Amino acid sequence: MSFSQLRPTQLCFARLTPPATRFSWRSTALGRRYMSQDIGRDFMTGEASSRLTITKTTSPKELPPSKSLLFGRTFSDHMLRIPWTEATGWGAPSIAPFSDINLSPGATVLHYAQSLFEGMKAYRHEDGTVTMFRPDMNMKRMNSSAQRLALPTFNGDALIECMKELISLDRNWIPKEPGHSLYIRPTLIGTNGTLGVAPPNEALLFVITSPAGPYYPQGFKPVPLHGTTEYIRAAPGGTGAYKLSANYAPGVVAQKSAAKQGYAQNLWLHGPEHWLTEVGTMNLFVVIKDRDGVTELITPPLDGMILPGVTRDSVLTLARNHASGAKRLQGLPDAIKISERPINMAEIILSSKEGRLVELFGTGTAAVVTPVERIGYNGGDVMIPTGEDGMGPVSKPLWTELVGIQTGAIKSDWNYVVAK
Ligand X SMILES: Cc1ncc(COP(=O)(O)O)c(C=O)c1O
SS3 148: helix
Of the pair 312, 322, the CB lying nearest ligand X is at: 312
Q: Minimum distance from CB of 315 to ligand X (Å)? A: 9
Q: Calculate ∠ Cα 128-129-133, nearest 5°.
A: 130
Q: Calculate ∠ Cα 92-98-99, nearest 5°.
A: 95
Can you give the C-alpha Rg of the chain in angstroms? Answer: 22
Of the pair 364, 376, the CB lying nearest ligand X is at: 364
Q: Minimum distance from CB of 234 to ligand X (Å)? A: 8
Q: Minimum distance from CB of 227 to ligand X (Å)? A: 17
Q: Minimum distance from CB of 283 to ligand X (Å)? A: 5
Q: Minimum distance from CB of 66 to ligand X (Å)? A: 22
CA pair distance 58, 273, nearest whole angstrom: 58
SS3 312: helix
Q: Minimum distance from CB of 287 to ligand X (Å)? A: 18
Of the pair 338, 419, the CB lying nearest ligand X is at: 338
DSSP letter for each residue of 158-182: HHHHHHHHHHHHTGGGS-SSTT-EE
Of the pair 224, 364, the CB lying nearest ligand X is at: 364
CA pair distance 81, 379, nearest whole angstrom: 49
357-364 and 223-228: which strand pairing?
unpaired
Half-sphere exposure of 268 (CA within 13 A, CB side): 26
Give the nearest residue (CB) to ligand X: 309
Helical segments of 203-330, H only: 251-260, 310-324
Of the pair 192, 210, the CB lying nearest ligand X is at: 210
Cα-flanking dihedrals φ and ψ of residue 144, to 5°? -70, -35
Q: Minimum distance from CB of 54 to ligand X (Å)? A: 28
CA pair distance 372, 348, nearest whole angstrom: 13
Of the pair 255, 363, the CB lying nearest ligand X is at: 363
Q: Minimum distance from CB of 417 to ligand X (Å)? A: 20
DSSP letter for each residue of 95-144: EEE-------TT-HHHHH--EEE--EEEEE-TTS-EEEESHHHHHHHHHH
Of the pair 229, 245, the CB lying nearest ligand X is at: 245
Of the pair 265, 281, the CB lying nearest ligand X is at: 281
Which chain residues interact with ligand X by CB under 6 A? 119, 278, 281-283, 307, 309-312, 363-365
